[in-house]
Amino acid sequence: MDDPLQGWLNYLRAERGAGEETLRAYGRDLRTLQLHLRDKELELLEAQVLDLRSWLAAQARRAPAPASVSRRASACRSFYRWALSEGLREDSPAERLRSPRVPETVPHFLSEAEAAEVVEQPSQQGWYLLRNKALLELLYGAGLRVSEASSLRVEDLDLEEGLVHVRKGKGRKARRVPVGSEALRALEAWLGAHEGRGPLFLNRYREGLSARSMHRIVRASGRLHDLGGLHPHALRHSCATHMLANGADLRGIQEQLGHASLSTTQRYAHVSVERLLEVHRSAHPRARRPVEPGPEPSDES
């Protein structure tokens, strides 16, 4: 095979349904490995476990975050397993690589008041204001990934039913999700300024708005409300957090966000102790407060 790295990336795209961001990250990781090996006059398919460990150690010195190191090790294992399955190697030198333990983190989210400010009062004016408000309301109201929002088309909206058809979810899994009344109103206002069919969100050249531009819009709206470094995923996390805090169950949130595993959704189970107590006292038969007994009936009654 002329280019095993590209062959592996093609496999991930076609057979595993990997998203473009994952492919870019894995491609960058393996290209740094290529450069590391070429200094030793080796190719990717000639590497041994010690070569991979020295590469990981060098990468860890540059970007020591456990999640980054873990991703590189994962990419490495995936590549060599694929090479083994394709008959390009007789073994996988990456199987003995150890990934650092990635600490469990609570996703960043906004308060309900902060989220309302960000989506109701975005940056820019006129045509752009209508677009940005619709985008922010959709990211928060439906909990979409920014890659999903950037791939939406006008025909993916069902305004009568209040649904959006996400055709390009993670792992190529499509789903239909509710968007909420506020998002529907913002989308209707935006469609009034839209030019018809095609990409739902447009740039100034009336072409599809890129995911990178959506990141900029979210950051700008965050800065406007003293929320520096705001990321589109924070709106998605806020959607899940606020749904859970207001009584939604994890299975429903899993469907809304398009998570393949419920364990991913469980990261959002960080509601307040007061809310947990309230739910427990209302739902558990042994936790309900007893009714105070009334006065004993007299013999005369």
- The DSSP secondary structure of 156-214, one letter per residue, reads GEETTTTEEEESS-GGG--EEEE--HHHHHHHHHHHHHS-SSSBSSB-TTSSBPPHHHH
Query: Which segment of 28-42, 108-122, 257-271 scores lowest on mean pLDDT?
Result: 257-271
- Reduced to 3 states (helix: H, G, I; strand: E, B; else coil), residue 232 is helix
Span 4-85 CATH architecture:
Orthogonal Bundle (1.10)
Catalytic residue chosen out of the listed positions 170, 194, 237, 242 = 170
Least confident of 29-33, 86-90, 101-105: 101-105
The verdict on whether 225 is a catalytic residue reads no
Check: CB of residue 9 under 8 Å from CB of residue 22.
Answer: no
Question: 112-272 falls under which CATH superfamily?
Answer: Intergrase catalytic core (1.10.443.10)
Is 231 a catalytic site residue? no
Section 192-214 average pLDDT: 90
pLDDT band at 123 (very low <50, low <70, confident <90, very high): confident
CA atoms of 45 and 34, how far apart (whole Å) = 10
DSSP strands (E only) in the chain: 157-158, 163-166, 175-178
Active site residue 268: yes
pLDDT for res 272: 46
Determine whether 233 is an active site residue.
yes
Sorted by where each begins, the domain ranges of the chain are 4-85, 112-272
From 81, 167, 233, 267, active-site residue: 233
Residue 171: the pLDDT is 60
Residue 240: how many other CB atoms lie within 10 Å: 23
Q: What is the pLDDT of residue 261?
A: 75
Provide the pLDDT for residue 14. 85
In this chain, the answer to whether the domains covering 4-85 and 112-272 adopt an identical fold is no
CA atoms within 13 A on the CB side of 257: 28
Strand (E) or helix (H) holding 98: none
User: Who wins on pLDDT, 76 or 106?
Assistant: 76
Catalytic residue (choose from 72, 133, 237, 259): 259
Please determine, for residue 52, whether its predicted confidence score (pLDDT) is greater than 80. yes
Quickly state the pLDDT bin for 67 (edges 50, 70, 90).
confident
Helices (H) and strands (E) in the chain — how many of each? 13, 3
Give the per-residue pLDDT at 106.
Answer: 54
Is the pLDDT at 89 greater than 60? The verdict is yes
pLDDT value for 20: 78
Could you say which of 131, 145, 168, 194 is catalytic?
Answer: 145
Q: Catalytic annotation on 128? A: no
- 273 confidence band (pLDDT: 50, 70, 90): very low
Whole-number pLDDT of residue 240: 85
In this prediction, residue 33 carries a pLDDT of 95
Report yes or no: 82 and 8 within 8 Å, Cβ to Cβ. Answer: yes
Residue 57 has pLDDT above 80, yes or no: yes
Burial of 268 (0-12, 13-18, 19+ CB in 10 A): buried
Q: What is the pTM of this model?
A: 0.63
pLDDT band at residue 5 under the 50/70/90 scheme: very high
d(CA 256, CA 121): 25
- Model confidence at 287: pLDDT above 70: no
Is residue 174 very low, low, confident or very high in pLDDT (cuts 50, 70, 90)?
A: confident
Residue 196's pLDDT is 76
* Residue 177: strand pairing partners: 164
